[in-house]
Amino acid sequence: MIQAQKGTKDILPEDVLTWQNMEQKANEVFSKANFQELRTPIFEATELFARGVGDSTDIVNKEMYTFEKSERSLTLRPENTAGVVRAYIEHGFSRLPQPVKLWYKGPMFRYERPQAGRQRQFHQVGVEMFGSAEPSADAEVINLAVKYLNELGLNDLEIEINSLGCPDCRAKYREAIKTVLKPYLPELCEDCNFRYEKNPLRILDCKVDSCKKIFEKDEVQKVILGDFICPECKEHFEKVKEYLTALNIPFKENKLLVRGLDYYNRTVFEIKSNNLGSQNAVCGGGRYDSLVETLGGVSTPAVGWAMGMERLFSLIQKFKSKRLDVFVVSENIAETFKIIDELRTNGFSAEFDYANRKFKKQLDKAAKTAKYALILMEDELKSNTVTIKNLDSSEQVNVSRDEYLSYIKI
């Protein structure tokens, strides 16, 4: 038997209503803030992610699904910010009134060990705002993330924020990190040794326990917790915190928070749920002011975030499948099709027994699946009537075929 591939899952009918609710709430919350939905292709040129996400990241080095077609290297998208930036540049969005505010949803692909809330094909919902360097934009997207999570019924949240500073700030910080960690290189994991040369800040994102213990040493902590950001970046970060406080959004600073992608600068943040255990991040994002220019566009400040929808699904209340409005019980298929079509045209969900089984079998099925049974047997056909049975109260009434729709109360 051919089965779904490891790291992929079917979204079954009993779960689809919950997924649709997540998508509907996203549209409602983001539209109110004037964010418009953008849908990008599932695969892009491999170069887009190598240049955009960064060749020092685990995503580019280990996790991308890349294939050759007509001598071109293509990759299933492992994240969507780079694709949204590519669309922003390609379609001339820089010529539109700024800021340009976009949101997206859809599947992403990463080859990694499947774990709770994370699959090789997974889904994200996210927002991106282009054209504003102001700290108010940072606060806006964080506020939007919190509002969306609240709308899904998630209120037990922790917001962590940090500032990585500008490129000049990061250069000083990077050298300080390299200097203090150099004596510990033999003790750091293989990935951290690779990151040491490529992007030392990403060492702080390591989840290996032995590496974490090194970060906790006093001399390392002194550097990690040191204040390396310039006055301008510090002012920006203080304003972000001021605006979050004005929005009554509680937060804490985390100097170890660097995020896993190379394009971030200044504000970075994560939102965590206390109901998820160790893998508890439901949202991550930050500012990426150089990415548009890196990918060939004009210099454009930008900020955004993404959420894993599988993790959201594991946390929110599940929707039960709705009962049908009407189940037609009849042995005359031709007449049944007429009335089924009429019911559906008038906005009711309606079904019938395709196998045309005996009356009792059909009525039993109606009782399990619908709110009303509409009975159209030989007596009803002769008198041009239908019998409508309320399957909750067991009350039934025989009415004219011309008037029966008004007796169905949904």
Q: State the first-to-last Cα distance of the chain, in angstroms, to the nearest integer.
A: 43
Instruction: Please check whether residues 265 and 394 belong to one and the same domain.
Output: no
Instruction: Please check whether residues 378 and 242 belong to one and the same domain.
Output: no
> Does residue 177 lie within any of the structural domains?
no
> Does residue 383 lie within any of the structural domains?
yes
Instruction: Please check whether residues 118 and 51 belong to one and the same domain.
Output: yes
> Does residue 34 lie within any of the structural domains?
yes
* Sheet architecture: strand order including 265-273: 36-37, 100-109, 121-130, 302-308, 281-287, 265-273, 157-163, 252-253
Write down the H helix ranges in 13-166.
13-32, 46-52, 58, 81-90, 135-151
Q: Which domain holds residue 41?
A: 13-166+229-315
Q: Are 111 and 64 in contact (CB under 8 A)?
A: yes
Instruction: Please check whether residues 267 and 393 belong to one and the same domain.
Output: no
Instruction: Please check whether residues 130 and 238 belong to one and the same domain.
Output: yes
pLDDT digit string (tens) for 245-291? 999 999 999 887 876 566 788 899 999 987 665 567 899 999 999 99
pLDDT of 259 reads: 66
Q: Which residue in 175, 209, 173, 174 sits closest to 189, CA to CA?
A: 209
Of 267, 293, 315, the position where a domain reaches its end is: 315
Instruction: Please check whether residues 159 and 275 belong to one and the same domain.
Output: yes
> Does residue 64 lie within any of the structural domains?
yes
pLDDT of 61 reads: 66
| CA 305/CA 138 separation, integer angstroms | 10
Of 267, 294, 315, the position where a domain reaches its end is: 315
Based on the structure, what is the number of domains in the chain? 2
Instruction: Please check whether residues 372 and 391 belong to one and the same domain.
Output: yes
Amino acid letter for position 199? N
Question: Could you list the pLDDT tens digit for every one of the 410 residues in the chain?
Answer: 999 888 889 999 889 999 999 999 999 999 999 999 999 999 999 989 888 776 656 667 678 888 898 889 999 999 999 999 999 999 999 999 999 999 999 999 988 777 666 788 999 999 999 999 999 999 999 999 999 999 999 988 999 999 988 888 878 888 888 888 888 888 888 888 887 877 777 787 777 888 888 888 888 888 877 778 889 999 999 999 999 999 999 999 988 787 656 678 889 999 998 766 556 789 999 999 999 999 999 999 999 999 999 999 988 888 888 889 999 999 899 999 999 999 999 999 999 998 888 899 999 999 999 999 999 999 999 999 999 999 999 999 999 998 899 888 87
Hey, is 12 helix, strand or coil?
coil
The CATH number linked to 348 is 3.40.50.800
pLDDT digit string (tens) for 329-366? 998 999 999 999 999 999 999 999 988 888 999 999 99
| CA 372/CA 324 separation, integer angstroms | 8
Instruction: Please check whether residues 134 and 64 belong to one and the same domain.
Output: yes
Amino acid letter for position 37? E
pLDDT of 20 reads: 94
Q: Which residues pair with 399 in a beta bridge?
A: 386
> Does residue 223 lie within any of the structural domains?
no
> Does residue 183 lie within any of the structural domains?
no
**Token pair of 373 as six digits:** 């049974």
Instruction: Please check whether residues 52 and 113 belong to one and the same domain.
Output: yes
Instruction: Please check whether residues 350 and 311 belong to one and the same domain.
Output: no
> Does residue 362 lie within any of the structural domains?
yes
Q: Are 126 and 312 in contact (CB under 8 A)?
A: no
| CA 357/CA 372 separation, integer angstroms | 18
Instruction: Please check whether residues 275 and 140 belong to one and the same domain.
Output: yes
pLDDT of 116 reads: 64
pLDDT digit string (tens) for 150-177? 999 998 899 999 998 888 887 888 888 8
* Sheet architecture: strand order including 65-69: 43-45, 72-76, 65-69
> Does residue 204 lie within any of the structural domains?
no
Q: Are 168 and 150 in contact (CB under 8 A)?
A: no
The CATH number linked to 244 is 3.30.930.10
Instruction: Please check whether residues 256 and 280 belong to one and the same domain.
Output: yes
| CA 154/CA 273 separation, integer angstroms | 8
Of 286, 315, 344, the position where a domain reaches its end is: 315
